Chain A
């Protein structure tokens, strides 16, 4: 947008500040036991004040109350609105359409602040009255450049008394290239859930090269350049001759089981079951911990000959696996 376009746009949106979203509106349903029970079940809130009439009557509340967190629920438009099937264009929708038309296609509910003035009981009516209270100056956020919109809803009851107040803050933004890419990577193009993966090793000065070679399908063994001593796990200095110079050799992946355990409990998400961990004595002379695969746990024994393969084990991880030779 040019500066002129920006000021024209800002004039349009600012005209909405102070406008009512519509006249005060009574909720589609008055406070009722069925919706309270559904809410308590879904949220797992077992407080008997919400569902147990006998208990509630004997309590200081003298009867069932609605969970305070349902305040906004009573005034919600409901499912057709969420699906965009109502066809209604209210003041708020108009404002959002203007944002969308100017490239602010991103929307993020950022936070709400709610005040509760009294507890609601079955039979109470909830009337909501929402005003577009404030639109911020343009902001740069991690999601992209945009504006915060604040609406304030006042909730009253059948007697016109205040029962609560809610501030709802939304960010409308032009998605940045980074946030688009991150979003796509996260959802994988569709809404598929990501399978858990192995816990990764952090990579630092002394070990990143080893893990990078694993990623490339190679099991390397660090070697002292001065005295030729092999060492694993990698470390910066040779313990034999104190040389800081080193290179590496590629392992033949031939070896035998020096010791092992089957990890039965606790189970960790992202790991195979059964999970066999071996301490592998490589032909080159060093040892490493790796999984033993391709056989039943009962078949594993100390001295078992194994042959390794560096392979992908999940979406994020490549590891050496050892199979019975």
Chain B
């Protein structure tokens, strides 16, 4: 049964800090700035906020963000687990809260010093806690320690089964790079990449090389969610949350679901996609543009299949036909993605999806964008959201 939260909440504000490799300030400073910018964008005051949602791995305590920004009484605070898998999960929490009346103005935020502080590329080590440590214990002694290594294992299997080649991975990397070249906020602004550049990238975990892997960035992003009624009286045109869903699918592990009958796909994203579409009665043909979580190039392929833009095993052909490009079927990651703009755990992707619907992306497609898809990190429990113009 599809949840009944479609169009019960709208995004009315977005805010980001600059993205960098060394912010020179605290994660709390980044969070506070992003939240304030999102509220300014919406034309709301800190005292209007009564809900805060973030990632479990975010280091900024709700009380600290609320005090720093000057919020009043907060009646909803919730966190979503599993790294980047939480991105659109924060929208689900916010939408449920405003739809039920538990809160009226909810800010989702994520801020990290992901390059100058703790780097996720350093992988797991012996200093993990309890359940997570036992789990990674089956991989650490063998040297399968980093996100790239886990994703490589799925990628090799997918390539073996579908005939997908490095050409498809290159196309995903270069498409985001070409968008970033025109985005002043992007790390790779004005720095295009040729196939030779790509092929010269350092070996990471084959088949993944350097430019198949996302940035490591410092920065913060925030999203303001409120009721459709209130959204009508604010500064920006409201962007409706048409559908939003998350999923832990059968036999899922955190990043290492190696034991399912088939590992060259993302069952949890299949489920979330079906649920999100069912909520709003839309399907893949209704989606005009997308922000597809791109911590690594190959994970884009599997998500295109999950969301029905192509059949299983056909994603390589889909991207190599230029469909992610400005005039393609599905202009995607138009900010440059996490491969080429910045890695803010997918929340910069939500910001971009809102811009696509508002019509304000620096790479706004020529065609009308009625609906944009945005997804969360995969390998972990994941999900996605379908955003549309408020009617």
The interface of chain A, by Cβ under 8 A from chain B, is: 198-204, 206-207, 211, 232-233, 239, 258-266, 268, 271-272, 275, 277, 279, 286-291, 297, 302, 317, 319
Output the least CB separation between A217 and chain B (Å): 15
Residues of B within 8 A of A232 (CB): 259
Judge if B71 is at the interface, Cβ distance under 8 Å.
Answer: no
Report the Cα distance A230→B130, complex, angstroms.
Answer: 24
27 A-B pairs with C-beta separation under 8 A: A198-B140, A200-B141, A201-B136, A201-B141, A202-B133, A202-B134, A204-B134, A207-B134, A233-B135, A233-B138, A258-B258, A259-B258, A261-B155, A261-B156, A261-B208, A262-B205, A262-B206, A263-B149, A264-B202, A264-B203, A266-B122, A268-B143, A277-B142, A279-B153, A279-B258, A279-B263, A291-B143
B205 touches A264 (CB 8 A): yes
Q: A263-B149, A266-B146, A287-B259 are in contact. Are A201 and B203 (CB under 8 A)?
A: no
Residues of A within 8 A of B141 (CB): 198-201, 317, 319
Task: Please tell me which one of the listed residues A211, A272, A297, A302 contacts residue B157 in the complex, with CB atoms under 8 A apart.
Answer: A302
Considering the complex, which residues of chain B in the window 120-179 have a beta carbon less than 8 Å from any beta carbon of chain A? 121-123, 125-126, 128, 130, 133-146, 149, 152-157, 160
Residues of B within 8 A of A302 (CB): 156-157, 160
Output the least CB separation between A305 and chain B (Å): 15
Residues of B within 8 A of A266 (CB): 121-123, 146
A289 touches B134 (CB 8 A): no
Residues of A within 8 A of B57 (CB): none
Sort A-B residue pairs by CB-CB distance and give the 5 closest, nearest first.
Answer: A201-B137, A261-B152, A264-B203, A259-B157, A199-B140
Residues of A within 8 A of B154 (CB): 259
**Count of interface residues, chain B, beta-carbon cutoff 8 Å:** 41
A289 touches B121 (CB 8 A): no
A263 touches B258 (CB 8 A): no
Judge if B102 is at the interface, Cβ distance under 8 Å.
Answer: no
Judge if B2 is at the interface, Cβ distance under 8 Å.
Answer: no
Report the Cα distance A319→B128, complex, angstroms.
Answer: 21
Judge if B204 is at the interface, Cβ distance under 8 Å.
Answer: yes
Residues of A within 8 A of B149 (CB): 261, 263, 277
A261 touches B134 (CB 8 A): no
A289 touches B138 (CB 8 A): yes
Residue of B whose beta carbon sits closest to that of A262: B206
Residue of B whose beta carbon sits closest to that of A211: B137
Report the Cα distance A288→B256, complex, angstroms.
Answer: 11
Q: A202-B134, A261-B149, A302-B156 are in contact. Are A319 and B205 (CB under 8 A)?
A: no
Output the least CB separation between B295 and chain A (Å): 16
Given contact pairs A263-B143, A268-B145, A287-B258, enumerate 14 new A-B contacts (beta carbons under 8 Å): A201-B138, A206-B134, A259-B157, A261-B152, A261-B153, A261-B206, A262-B203, A264-B202, A264-B205, A265-B202, A277-B144, A277-B149, A287-B259, A319-B141
Q: Which of A268, A272, A277, A302 is most buried by chain B, counting CB atoms within 10 A of its CB?
A: A277
Tally inter-chain residue pairs, CB-CB below 8 A: 117
Q: A199-B125, A207-B137, A233-B135 are in contact. Are A275 and B143 (CB under 8 A)?
A: yes
A201 touches B157 (CB 8 A): no
Report the Cα distance A258→B156, complex, angstroms.
Answer: 9
Residues of A within 8 A of B130 (CB): 204
Output the least CB separation between A15 and chain B (Å): 49
Output the least CB separation between A230 and chain B (Å): 11
Residue of A whose beta carbon sits closest to that of B256: A289
Q: Which of B142, B154, B251, B256 is most buried by chain A, counting CB atoms within 10 A of its CB?
A: B142
Residues of A within 8 A of B204 (CB): 264-265
Task: Please tell me which one of the listed residues A259, A272, A291, A319 contacts residue B160 in the complex, with CB atoms under 8 A apart.
Answer: A259
Residues of A within 8 A of B133 (CB): 201-202
Output the least CB separation between B256 and chain A (Å): 8
Output the least CB separation between A179 and chain B (Å): 24
Residue of A whose beta carbon sits closest to that of B258: A279
Interface string of B259-281 (1 = CB under 8 A from A): 10001000000000000000000
Q: A199-B145, A264-B205, A268-B143 are in contact. Are A288 and B156 (CB under 8 A)?
A: no
Output the least CB separation between B45 and chain A (Å): 46
A263 touches B144 (CB 8 A): yes
Q: A200-B126, A264-B204 are in contact. Are A288 and B138 (CB under 8 A)?
A: yes
Report the Cα distance A271→B125, complex, angstroms.
Answer: 13
B263 touches A259 (CB 8 A): yes
Residues of A within 8 A of B206 (CB): 261-262, 264, 297
Output the least CB separation between B244 and chain A (Å): 28
Output the least CB separation between A185 and chain B (Å): 19
Residues of B within 8 A of A288 (CB): 138
Report the Cα distance A43→B208, complex, angstroms.
Answer: 40
Residue of A whose beta carbon sits closest to that of B159: A302
Residues of A within 8 A of B138 (CB): 201, 207, 233, 288-289
Considering the complex, which residues of chain B in the window 199-236 have a beta carbon less than 8 Å from any beta carbon of chain A? 202-208
Report the Cα distance A211→B134, complex, angstroms.
Answer: 11
Residue of A whose beta carbon sits closest to that of B130: A204
Output the least CB separation between B315 and chain A (Å): 18
Residue of A whose beta carbon sits closest to that of B210: A265
Output the least CB separation between A210 and chain B (Å): 9
Residue of A whose beta carbon sits closest to that of B151: A261
Report the Cα distance A12→B126, complex, angstroms.
Answer: 49
Report the Cα distance A317→B202, complex, angstroms.
Answer: 30
Residues of B within 8 A of A261 (CB): 144, 149, 152-153, 155-156, 205-208
Residues of B within 8 A of A286 (CB): 259
A263 touches B160 (CB 8 A): no
Residues of A within 8 A of B152 (CB): 261
Report the Cα distance A297→B205, complex, angstroms.
Answer: 12
Residues of B within 8 A of A202 (CB): 126, 128, 133-134, 137
Residues of A within 8 A of B202 (CB): 264-265
